[in-house]
Amino acid sequence: MATQGQDAKFFQRGKIQEFRAELQAAESKDKKYTKRKTVLKKIVANITMGNDMSALFPDVVSCLGIPLLEIKKSTFHSAFEVDCNDRNPLIRALAIRTMSYIPIPVVVESLTEQLRHCLKDRDPYVRKTAAICVAKLYAADPRKAEKGGFVQTLHSLLSDPNATVVSNAVAALTEIADRPDGVAFQLDLGKANRLLAALGESSEWGQIYILDSLLRYVPIKHEDAEIMADRVIIQLQHGNSAVVLTAIKVLLYLMNYMENRKLMDYICKKMGPPLVTLLSSGPEVQYVALRNILLIIQRRPSVLKNDVKVFFCKYNDPIYVKLAKLEIMYRLAREENAREVLAELQEYASEVDIDFVRKAVRSIGRLAIKVEKAATECIDALLALIETKVSYVVQEAVIVIKDVFRRYPGKYEGIIPKLCENLDALEEPESKAAMIWIVGQFADKIDNADELMDDLTFTFLEEPVEVCEPDGVFFAFIMVNLYALQVQLALLTASVKLFIYKSQSETSKALVHKVLKWTTEEVDNPDLRDRGFMYWRLLAINPAVAGEIVLAEKPAITTDSDRMDRGALDQLLLHTGSLGSIYHKNPETFIRNAVGKALADSPALNSLSRQVLVPIARPMPAAAIQIPGPGPPEPHARDASASPLPPAKPSELVSAGGGSSTELIEPAESAEAETQDTHDTHDTTDGNGDEEEPASPAPVAADPYANLDNAFGSYLADEPRPQSNNQLAGLI
């Protein structure tokens, strides 16, 4: 066999005429076929480099009569039909495999009859190759594969005495079933037992396919799931990480159909050591294992509840592994190990990697929220980190302390003065917004709150700067700067809280009027303007009611929002070891035409799993490619279905403008965000039928800004203020 260095000489671009001349010259003086083999290698190398060699097809076909296996691998012709009946099983398998890789009608027609014989060949090597070829045939012509009975033949191969044939048949059936137009692949108890019998003799890839196919079996009795789990659990000792993860996936699936608590605890105990063993692999395998572990411990916390030390970070771990370990440490933290976890997080907070330090500081705050008995120690640790005066450490500490204040209201407010001392260290929008919230929320307990707020509002109107390229093109920021908006919204709300707390202070009056004037007259963001108008009207109509609304008691935050919904977890765990378990998303949400998975209802499904049963999500629609043709564009049906809106009258414009509101809708980023949205979404459809009846002229409302001057003091009577609907109507 030629080495890699010897094959490199073939990768030189050549011309079709030169290759044709070399093939013709080699016919007369090439008894051992060495020259023709060399020319064919050059042609294959040029095809690999992207050169079009289709003109040489007749010349290459003439080489098929050569009785040399290496040349047969490089060419194809109908002579392969003869090779399908060769005495050598390797040649028969090679012929049928080569034909299946050419999805053109002529070849598919020839493949059909030969494949039917190869599926019943006496040699298992030919049968296992033919099983994979059925999937190739289905991809080329699904109708011919289904009507020809090839799918049924694959099902019969599940009972083949050879384990390799069984695993390849499972792989082919799985590939066919995962297609949008595929045939469903379901297992009954008999087929599942036959697959388990072939599991021990299969290759590693075959074991993965067989284990994955067991998810297509729905147990009818609890005993069936328990017996099957007992036969699968031995695969946890396998040396291949993919086999281990697939076995864990099957066990987690079968546990949904069990009621024996002792057996479930035993299975969870058995799954722990293999998962820990995966952490001794390379960083890439570690990351895949960590992302899967993060899902598993949310659904089955007892799997690794006593192994938190295993996830302590090493000095040479990559940053993505360290961040994944930090998340798992937080998930496994409880009262018994909170002190150990906190000590480890404090060590991480002194590392040199900024991203890792930020995550560690934030994890300390989350630990304080999760474990109440460790909250005081966590606060002391955060204060010690603030004393270091490191900018990014101080900012992260302020962000998490804001959440601690909400988790334990009235308990740790004595540290607010220390936070105010580090006001100048806050540079990032999130930390600024957190500190502004603290100042506004506790303005009655901060003596110089009005002075602090006045300093914080100094940069309220800062906007993104245009970027100038060398060619003189200016790129303006089209999308809203969400971080700047976060600070502006926090400043607006905090200034209103300050005014409510200290309504007699002239400084707070001037401050809130200044901020409201900026938000309603000099800011383009609709969310900020709407909130400014809302606060202005509240303060103008009834400041006492405004105080009850703005200063209403906030619900204490919990760690419930950190946990993914149980139904979504059950669905994601069906994708353990795949890309979906790394993204923590169902594959149908980011892979087009992917087929989703979900737990199937059954008499054996336990009550807890049935309560959170989630149906399969819709797959992403196929991409529509539109190529414009000559002539004017034709309207689409969806465009014609929408009738044009009638022109609005000036009076309607005035009434609509006064009551309009905008809502920013952000897309969900993970399966967890989608689950939370389903609980918080309400039907806002207005069914009053306004669109069917002519709109009657709206009555002229009283000016909502009539008492605006009295709200902020008489000295503001001459200042500009928002115009009322009456004034707008007069202008129109």
DSSP labels, 341-403: HHHHHHHHTTSS-HHHHHHHHHHHHHHHHH-GGGHHHHHHHHHHHHTT--HHHHHHHHHHHHH
Report d(CA 303, CA 265) in Å as an integer.
8
Q: How many other CB atoms are there within 10 angstroms of residue 355's CB atom?
A: 13
Q: How far is CA 581 from CA 56, 234, 288, 585, in A?
A: 47, 23, 8, 7
* pLDDT of res. 399: 94
**Model confidence, pTM:** 0.72
Indicate the SS3 state at residue 624.
coil
Report d(CA 211, CA 203) in Å as an integer.
12
Asked whether the beta carbons of 419 and 434 are under 8 A apart, the reply is no
Angle at 594 between CA 591 and CA 595, to 5 degrees: 150
| Direct distance between the N- and C-terminal alpha carbons of the chain, in angstroms, rounded to an integer | 88
* pLDDT of res. 43: 83
Report d(CA 708, CA 693) in Å as an integer.
37
Indicate the SS3 state at residue 581.
helix
Q: How far is CA 644 from CA 38, 639, 660, in A?
A: 69, 10, 21
* pLDDT of res. 503: 83
3-state SS, 87-130, equals: CCHHHHHHHHHHHHCCCCHHHHHHHHHHHHHHCCCCCHHHHHHH
* pLDDT of res. 79: 61
Asked whether the beta carbons of 400 and 361 are under 8 A apart, the reply is yes
pLDDT mean values, one per 10 residues, the chain (732 residues): 60 84 77 78 80 78 68 57 84 89 79 90 95 94 91 94 96 93 90 93 94 95 94 93 95 95 94 93 93 94 91 93 95 93 94 93 95 94 94 94 91 90 88 93 88 86 49 40 78 93 87 92 89 92 89 81 84 92 90 86 90 73 47 42 41 35 36 39 37 39 44 38 37 26
Give the residue carrying structure tokens 């049935």. 610
Burial classification of residue 560, based on how many CB atoms lie within 10 Å of its CB (0-12 exposed, 13-18 middle, 19 or more buried)? exposed
Q: List the one residue out of 387, 365, 386, 389 whose CA is nearest residue 377.
A: 365
